[in-house]
């Protein structure tokens, strides 16, 4: 929002991340996630309020914060392409003040952690995006920080590379505290112990992934797969059943239609099956699934936002 000519990126955030937890910060583009990360990592100075990382004030004690913090920001910058992967880690280890006698051992341990031990002597300029992102993680961990900030660490990665990065992140806790931002809701659901959703610079909800999903009600998604073309009455009939909040029909080219019901109990599904049976519709399968974190996110922030 704007105050006169000023743009307020975050406003009134009150957040505590317990030690040893992977904590997700979610929001649509422009919600204030990256700004929050940059303020906590001492890259931006907040205009008001206070923030502490590992017990140290991010403004008055920025050096102490940086000693205890590893940061991975989105993008390809931050590595020296003409150096090898190992030389990159050695260089940053010296910058972070790692004792000289530990530098080589530390670099080798980080390369092994991120699965790049066989590429340690190769120049970074020949690395794929996924390999560079793993090296970014190794760089952020080279000085063994207790706190790690990861800003969209899998953005732009192919599926195999993203899976590898997620595996590394999952192994960081409970030895480290991780603050993670991501646009991939399934990723947050898999990795995070708790999640805060930020919208227009404010936190609108904070809870476990399951707790956030439960806040949008007890509805579940039910899919009924039927054989044969359905008449126009089907959707209207099922939509009038008690407990059904929405109906969607998806026919395919093979004469199979998937009916998706969003309903709050199994009795609604039973009633739908009885109605289909009375109309002599052949039911081939019934599947039930909980609402996803993405469903909850859209409900809480407003459907249609990017």
CA 64 to chain centre: 28
Query: What mean pLDDT comes out for the span 169-196?
Result: 95
Q: What is the pLDDT of residues 59-101, one digit of tens each?
A: 999 999 999 999 998 666 899 999 999 999 999 999 999 999 9
Write down the H helix ranges in the chain.
Answer: 33-40, 62-67, 85-95, 103-113, 129-141, 159-170, 185-191, 209-214, 233-239, 266-278, 293-301
Encoded tokens for 120: 């340690």
Distance CA 164, CA 296 (A): 27
Q: What is the pLDDT of residues 5-64, one digit of tens each?
A: 555 566 668 889 999 999 999 998 888 888 898 999 999 998 888 999 999 999 999 999
Q: What is the pLDDT of residues 197-239, one digit of tens each?
A: 998 888 999 999 999 988 876 667 788 999 977 877 788 888 8
- 298: exposed, middle or buried (Cβ count in 10 Å: 0-12, 13-18, 19+): middle
Distance CA 165, CA 133 (A): 8
Percent share of the chain, pLDDT over 90: 56
pLDDT-wise least confident of 82-96, 105-119, 163-177, 241-255: 241-255
Whether 242 shows a pLDDT value over 90: the answer reads no
Which pLDDT belongs to residue 303? Answer: 43
> C-alpha dihedral over 16, 182, 34, 39, to 10 degrees?
30
Percent share of the chain, pLDDT over 70: 92
Q: What is the pLDDT of residues 277-305, one digit of tens each?
A: 888 889 999 988 777 888 788 778 864 33
Which pLDDT belongs to residue 306? Answer: 27
Q: How far is CA 155 from CA 75, 87, 182, 273, in A?
A: 9, 25, 8, 42
Query: Helices 103-113 and 129-141 meet at what angle, rounded to 10?
Result: 140
Residue 29: Cβ within 10 Å count? 9
Which pLDDT belongs to residue 131? Answer: 94
> Are the C-beta atoms of 91 and 61 separated by less than 8 Å?
no
pTM beyond 0.85: no
The mean pLDDT value of the chain amounts to: 88
Distance CA 64, CA 62 (A): 5
Which pLDDT belongs to residue 11? Answer: 67
Q: How far is CA 256 from CA 69, 227, 246, 252, 278, in A?
A: 54, 5, 20, 6, 19
For residue 197, report the phi and psi dihedrals to the nearest 5 degrees: -105, 125
> Are the C-beta atoms of 163 and 176 separated by less than 8 Å?
no
Domains of the chain: 2-214 (3.40.50.300), 220-290 (3.30.70.260)
- Tokens 């957040």, located at residue: 15
More confident residue, 268 or 72: 72
For residue 71, report the phi and psi dihedrals to the nearest 5 degrees: -130, 135
Q: How far is CA 184 from CA 38, 90, 162, in A?
A: 20, 32, 11
Which pLDDT belongs to residue 74? Answer: 67
The DSSP bridge partners found for residue 121 are none
pLDDT band at 260 (very low <50, low <70, confident <90, very high): confident
Whether 3 shows a pLDDT value over 50: the answer reads no
The candidate with the shortest Cα–Cα distance to 150, out of 163, 169, 131, 135, is 169
CA 192 to chain centre: 8
Distance CA 108, CA 115 (A): 11
Rg (CA), the chain: 24
Which pLDDT belongs to residue 295? Answer: 75
Which pLDDT belongs to residue 278? Answer: 85
């Amino acid at each position: 929002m704007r105050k006169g000519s000023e743009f307020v990126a975050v406003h009134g955030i009150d957040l505590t991340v317990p030690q040893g937890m992977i904590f997700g910060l979610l929001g649509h583009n422009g919600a204030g996630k990256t700004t929050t990360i940059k303020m906590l990592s001492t890259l931006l100075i907040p205009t008001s309020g206070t923030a502490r990382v590992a017990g140290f004030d991010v403004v008055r004690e920025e050096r102490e914060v940086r000693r205890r913090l590893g940061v991975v920001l989105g993008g390809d910058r931050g590595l020296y392409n003409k150096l090898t992967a190992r030389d990159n880690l050695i260089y940053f280890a010296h910058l972070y003040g790692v004792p000289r006698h530990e530098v080589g051992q530390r670099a080798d341990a980080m390369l092994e952690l991120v699965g790049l031990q066989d590429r340690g002597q190769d120049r970074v300029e020949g690395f794929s995006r996924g390999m560079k992102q793993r090296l970014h993680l190794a760089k952020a961990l080279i000085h063994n920080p207790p706190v790690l900030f990861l800003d969209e660490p899998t953005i732009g990665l192919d599926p195999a590379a993203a899976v590898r990065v997620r595996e590394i992140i999952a192994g960081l806790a409970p030895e480290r505290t991780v603050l993670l931002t991501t646009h991939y809701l399934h990723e947050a659901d898999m990795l995070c112990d708790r999640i805060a959703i930020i919208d227009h610079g404010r936190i609108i909800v904070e809870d476990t992934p399951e707790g956030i999903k439960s806040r949008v009600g007890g509805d579940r998604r039910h899919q009924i797969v039927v054989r044969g073309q359905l008449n126009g009455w089907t959707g209207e009939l099922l939509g009038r059943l008690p407990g059904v909040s929405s109906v969607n029909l998806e026919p395919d080219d093979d004469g199979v239609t998937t009916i998706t019901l969003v309903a709050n109990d199994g009795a609604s599904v039973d009633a739908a099956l009885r109605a289909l049976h009375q109309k002599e519709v052949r039911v081939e399968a019934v599947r039930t699934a909980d609402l996803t974190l993405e469903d909850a996110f859209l409900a809480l922030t407003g459907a249609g936002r990017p």
